[in-house]
A and B are shown apart, each in its own frame.
Chain A
Amino acid sequence: MDLSYGPQYEAFRQQVRRFCELNAHLAPKHVLLDREKTRAWQNLLIENGYVARAIPKKYGGYGAEPDILKAHIIAEEFARAQVPPGFRGQGIAYLVPTLLEMGTEEQKLRFISPTLSTEIIWCEGYSEPNAGSDLASVKTTAVLDGDDWVVNGQKIWTSTAERADWMFCLVRSELDVPKHQGLSFLLFSMATPGIQVRPLKTMTGDSHFNEVFFTHVRLPADQIVGQRGQGWQVANNVLLHERDDLGDPNATLMRLNLLIELMKNESADGRRLIDNAVLRDRLMRIQAKVMAMRANDLRLLSAKLNQKDASLAAMIVKLQGTELRHQLEALAIDALGELGILYEDGAHLRNEGSWQEMYMLYLGLIIGGGTAQIQKNIISERGLGMPREPKVKA
């Protein structure tokens, strides 16, 4: 056991800390609403190597050697300073890593740089009304017509589609083959004729969720990642990056600290919330779980550094991390009591209504990115080697 990062890394940490202090005021408040400011902030972060650090310069990245510890330090310090760590939309978080692994050189040169700088905002066209947990059942079709793909069908739960510039999309291109072998992974502009976006308001009140309809949407045949029929492998690569992202214990720790402050500062019946033994016990339960997930995160970091296997420890992060966050936000609402139901512009609102918003959002995240039940299937089948569900003939 050796938890120190060494002097070279401590110097790097100081450098990141200083950057956050000096530049925090330049960060945009609402990344998606203020695109000019977002782009300037993003470019500043790339220039300094705090975004796209290990992505080659020729693709618009910073071009440093991959360094897991430095990446970890950047995340820690931005979280500590509460400075937004740059835009991390679906394009940057999921598509770029996938293009780097599976894209053609031409695709890398064309798409990665403008994605990193937020010139292209992406949305992810995966789920359909009848293909949710069973994603491989997508029915949106793509038919090759001369030099073009022609896409018809419908997607749902498409986050950010209302303002995205491009979509990466899972479609059925091959008929008469098993369902996992008939998919392709296409890229196209949302400005292409034949695309209609209908916002779906969610329970939190925002409308970043959408239905997207395709009617004879035409795109050049080379806007495909991987080969025809390889879409399932490409999509799974994306999901791998996606699940990495949900349930981050450092973000949960920030919320825990905010909750402790809240419980120390708020009072009910002349008594601080923290002095209520029942609420305090719930807080301590949550703190222990956060501690466990942080230790787990440290183990994963170390396993990555030292190329050791910790696959079960990685598999449980999305399931446990999102549930824990949901419980944490729920405790804050209970601690606030009636104040906890205030929302939007309600008078007496605490912490901008973020407890309710996050409580609901995290229920969405327990479902999204592979539901909790799908996670349990994965953990039991791949982690514990239990038998698969018998296949039902379609």
Chain B
Amino acid sequence: MEFGLSAEQLLLQESVGRHLQRHVPLEVVKHIVNASAGGAAEVWSGLSDLGLSGTIIEEQYGGIGLSLLDAALVAETLGAHATPAPFVATAVMVPLAIATAGSDAQRTRWLPALAEGRVVAGAGVNEAANSRVGATVRATGGKLSGNALFVLDFDADVYLVADDHHALYLVESSATGLNRRVLTTIDKTRSVGELVFDNVQADLLPGSSDPNVCARVQDAGRIMLAADTLGAAGQMLTQAVAYSKGRTQFGRLIGSFQAVKHLCAEMAAELEPCRAMMWYAAHAFDALPDESRLTACHTKAHLSEVGTFVARTATEVHGGIGFTDELGLHLWFKRIGANRQLLGGPDRLREEAARLQQLA
């Protein structure tokens, strides 16, 4: 019996963390954010050189064939560094969909390109989880019409799109009749957008007539977003503790005041069990099919709540400086805020959790 990270997994997190520290430190993140997406491509090519673009893609397609837990550990590290990189859709949701539901031809065409990092893929499955007025995608005779909101990893070459029956399609960004509109959000470290389809030729993933495929893809995305929040919140707590050990007021380090200590203790007490919860959800996704849907919903919902609490509390511990653009703490605050709503906010996910248990 073993419920913890292996030496290889610790090494994976450490080496990704080291790479980001050296090549994508906060100054670089700020630069990319301010230059609106310029330079982000280099970040992803650097991470692809480490093999992360192929994290969960099988070796026969040029990937490294790791588990969803390994991918979640990468997502956690990216969250901890607020890294502007397309990971959730490009490296997890889209390859998972193609590997699970794609034809041989689709796998051979896309998986090696994704594994090498030559292709960036976005995911527009939000309507399947969280449909809004004026946003839906319909398929007629293999062609898509309508629009998809909150497409993840938007600055992409190809998109995975769910229609109103939760069937999944691939659409290339150059397709005729496809219009793209970047959506400005609070979180400038990742791109989100809207796809507008006017009778666009789309490539159906044949296995996706089973609606469970779309649900699996969403669950994988939710676990990645939860892991990203875990990393971001952990980072904010670390920064708050470090700040409280350096800042003096009333002749004392502010970290020696119980008012400040207790805020930090509450953050740690809420956050620490989330670590094991995230591991469990990622492990269940691969190994415990009976529990995997419920744990994915609950993990994303719970981490959204805890993440929100940590984001505001860590900012508060910093006092006025935490509110400034210069410090950059807000990058994590906003990333956590975006993660909370994408692929279903906590209230919707709890409702889904209740439905999965026939309680709603």
Point out residues on A near B: beta carbons under 8 Å: 1-6, 69, 260, 264, 274-275, 277, 280-281, 283-285, 287-289, 291-293, 295-296, 298-299, 301-303, 305-306, 308, 310, 312-313, 316, 319-320, 373, 375-377, 379-381, 383-390
Contact = CB atoms under 8 A, between A and B. Distances in A.
Interface of B: 1-4, 69, 241, 244-245, 252-253, 255-256, 258, 260-262, 264-266, 268-270, 272-277, 279-280, 283, 287-288, 295, 298-299, 301-302, 305, 347, 350-351, 353-354, 359-360
B351 A380 contact: no
B303 to A, nearest CB: 9
Contacts of A384: 241, 264-265, 268
B302 A387 contact: no
A273 B124 CA distance: 36
A305 B1 contact: yes
Contacts of A288: 298-299, 301-302, 350, 353
B269 A301 contact: no
13 contacts: A1-B3, A281-B347, A284-B351, A284-B354, A292-B277, A298-B3, A299-B3, A301-B3, A306-B4, A319-B265, A376-B269, A386-B261, A386-B264
A295 B302 contact: no
Contacts of A310: 4
Given A1-B287, A2-B2, A292 B269 contact: no
Contact of A312 (B69, B272, B280, B299): B272
Contact of A2 (B1, B269, B354): B1
A339 to B, nearest CB: 21
B302 A291 contact: yes
Contact of B4 (A277, A293, A302): A302
Contact of B268 (A3, A69, A264, A312): A312
B283 A1 contact: yes
A316 B269 contact: yes
B256 A386 contact: yes
Contacts of A319: 265, 269
A78 to B, nearest CB: 19
A292 B258 contact: no
Nearest to B270: A320
A303 B275 CA distance: 14
A292 B337 CA distance: 21
A287 B351 CA distance: 12
Contacts of B283: 1, 3
Majority secondary structure, A binding face: helix
A173 B29 CA distance: 61
A302 B241 contact: no
A387 B245 contact: yes
A377 B268 CA distance: 12
Nearest to A305: B1
Contact of B302 (A5, A292, A379): A292
Majority secondary structure, B binding face: helix
A388 B256 contact: yes
Most buried by A among B262, B277, B305: B277
Contact of A299 (B4, B256, B261, B347): B4
B265 A380 contact: yes
Contact of B276 (A264, A287, A299): A299
Contacts of A373: 258, 262
Contacts of B258: 373, 376-377, 389
A305 B359 CA distance: 37
A380 B354 contact: no
Contacts of B276: 292, 295-296, 298-299, 313
Given A1-B283, A289-B302, A313-B276, A284 B2 contact: no
A118 to B, nearest CB: 32
Contacts of A320: 269-270, 273
Given A295-B276, A379-B268, A389-B256, A281 B3 contact: no
A280 B264 contact: no
A2 B252 CA distance: 47
Given A296-B272, A302-B2, A386 B301 contact: no
Contacts of B351: 277, 280-281, 284
Nearest to A1: B283
A300 to B, nearest CB: 9
B279 A296 contact: no
Contacts of B269: 316, 319-320, 376, 379
Given A281-B351, A390-B256, A3 B272 contact: no
A387 B253 contact: yes
Given A3-B287, A313-B273, A389-B258, 11 more contacts: A1-B69, A3-B3, A280-B359, A293-B273, A313-B275, A373-B258, A376-B258, A379-B265, A384-B268, A386-B255, A386-B256
Contacts of B265: 319, 375-377, 379-380, 383-384
A377 B255 CA distance: 11
A385 B241 contact: yes
Contacts of B288: 3
A324 to B, nearest CB: 10
Contact of A386 (B4, B244, B354): B244
A376 B359 contact: no
A315 to B, nearest CB: 8
Given A299-B3, A302-B1, A386-B261, A292 B359 contact: no
Nearest to A386: B255
B277 A296 contact: yes
A306 B256 CA distance: 35
A312 B269 CA distance: 8
A69 B1 contact: yes
Contact of B264 (A281, A296, A298, A380): A380
Most buried by A among B3, B241, B350: B3
B331 to A, nearest CB: 22
Contacts of A3: 1, 3, 283, 287-288
Contacts of B275: 299, 313
Contacts of A305: 1-2
A305 B4 CA distance: 11
Nearest to A264: B359
